[in-house]
Chain A
């Protein structure tokens, strides 16, 4: 258990730097909201939203692999955790978002916006 570990301090600060830069980029995009990205549509939502989602997944990868030290675990232990979670989450989110779209299609014509 008590391995003779070399210090990873430098790498930790580097990952922190990357995570910070990603967050800053997200905030800048969130405040400016460039119209080309915000008002257009790509695969069901705006390209801006896709950028946010991809950057979020990049951050999640950084936290899990570097901070939670997933990179150091045995391959199949890592897969038991990551594949299970990723598969179930994608499954759930896909079904629920499709259902949400249907609910909108059914309900929005019944909502009155003129008086």
Chain B
């Protein structure tokens, strides 16, 4: 038996990379660091691509304060930034409990390690839930907009503040039946229909002189989106193609489609890292409970997953800056 397994099962040791410790770092820790370097480069690639695209559309990129405005239990209150700031705190705090777990591991305090690991896992789960809620708001949208034939997004404002379609659109009598496989071409169907038709929106705009149209174009002297005059707005609406509510990969009510694409891709990829981090933390948590590291004589494994967990926090710090602040 002893000849067929590489690990000596007699004295309960695990493979340790051959026992060499270049730079005084164990095999596992060093490889975790090198993995983190490569993963950091992947995220940098995404964020740099986001930067390139943003520079490409620097005069029409959506303004974060106008997109992310929700806070739990504050309906209709314009609360930009607070929610992502809260998410940042949750993640930093779970980083703190993680580093406390590592610290307790150095002192071989099994119970303390287990508790801090549990807090870390809970923090990670809360963050994931928050991100799901953020996505829900982003996908559902809160205002609605009109897209023109050349892809521009027209939003509606009243007294300088954006208003929802439901705030001013009067429903007409027309009814458009959703095209499903059962009632039209058998091999085609369409997505959910928006609440209002283009005609309803255009007519309501014409009938309500207090409603103005805001375009994506940014006035560089004030860094605000341009608001059109009534006549100009009517000319824009001549090119109206469809009503947009919320966001998907093709179109969104906030502006350029690629903005939503990057949002989904980068926060999604980060969220996936958090998710896998939580899973790994859970595995390590149970190992701690089972006394695996107690028997091994050191808690280095907690330190290694800790590195990954901190890295996830580190990435979020950058996502927070470049998606919500800058």
Residues in A lying within 8 Å of B, measured CB to CB: 1-3, 5, 7-9, 12-13, 16, 19-20, 23-24, 26-27, 30-31, 38-39, 45, 49, 52-53, 56, 59-60, 63-64, 66-69, 73-74, 76-77, 80-81, 84-85, 88-89, 92-93, 96-97, 99-101, 103-104, 107-108, 111-115
Bound together, the chains give a CA A88 to CA B221 distance in angstroms of: 35
**A115 engages B41 (CB within 8 Å):** no
**A5 engages B103 (CB within 8 Å):** yes
- B41-82 with Cβ < 8 A to chain A: 41, 44-45, 47-49, 51-60, 65, 80-82
**A100 engages B103 (CB within 8 Å):** no
CB contact between A63 and one of B53, B95, B103, B326 (< 8 Å): that residue = B95
Q: Which residues of B contact A69 (CB under 8 A)?
A: 102, 303
Q: Does B107 contact A (CB under 8 A)?
A: yes
CB contact between A5 and one of B80, B106, B232, B236 (< 8 Å): that residue = B106
**A81 engages B325 (CB within 8 Å):** no
**A56 engages B321 (CB within 8 Å):** yes
Closest 7 CB pairs of A and B: A100-B55, A77-B23, A5-B106, A100-B52, A103-B56, A74-B23, A96-B52
The stretch of B201-209, B261-269, B270-278, B312-320 that contacts the partner chain = B312-320
- Pick the most buried of A16, A24, A64: most chain B CB atoms within 10 A of its CB: A16
**A89 engages B40 (CB within 8 Å):** yes
Q: Which residues of A contact B81 (CB under 8 A)?
A: 27, 30-31
* SS class, residues of chain A in contact with chain B: helix
The stretch of B30-38, B125-133, B181-189, B279-287 that contacts the partner chain = B30-38
B126–chain A nearest beta-carbon distance, Å: 17
Sample of 24 A–B contacts (CB below 8 Å): A5-B103, A7-B103, A23-B85, A27-B81, A30-B80, A39-B223, A56-B317, A59-B317, A63-B95, A63-B317, A81-B34, A85-B40, A88-B44, A92-B45, A93-B47, A96-B49, A97-B51, A100-B54, A103-B56, A104-B58, A108-B59, A112-B150, A114-B232, A115-B238
**A52 engages B321 (CB within 8 Å):** yes
Residues in B lying within 8 Å of A, measured CB to CB: 22-26, 30, 33-34, 36-37, 40-41, 44-45, 47-49, 51-60, 65, 80-82, 85, 88-89, 92-93, 95-96, 98-100, 102-103, 106-108, 150, 215, 217, 221-223, 232, 235-236, 238-239, 297-298, 300, 303, 306-307, 310-311, 313-314, 317-318, 320-321, 324-326
Q: Which residues of B contact A100 (CB under 8 A)?
A: 51-56, 58
Q: Which residues of B contact A9 (CB under 8 A)?
A: 100, 103
Bound together, the chains give a CA A64 to CA B54 distance in angstroms of: 28
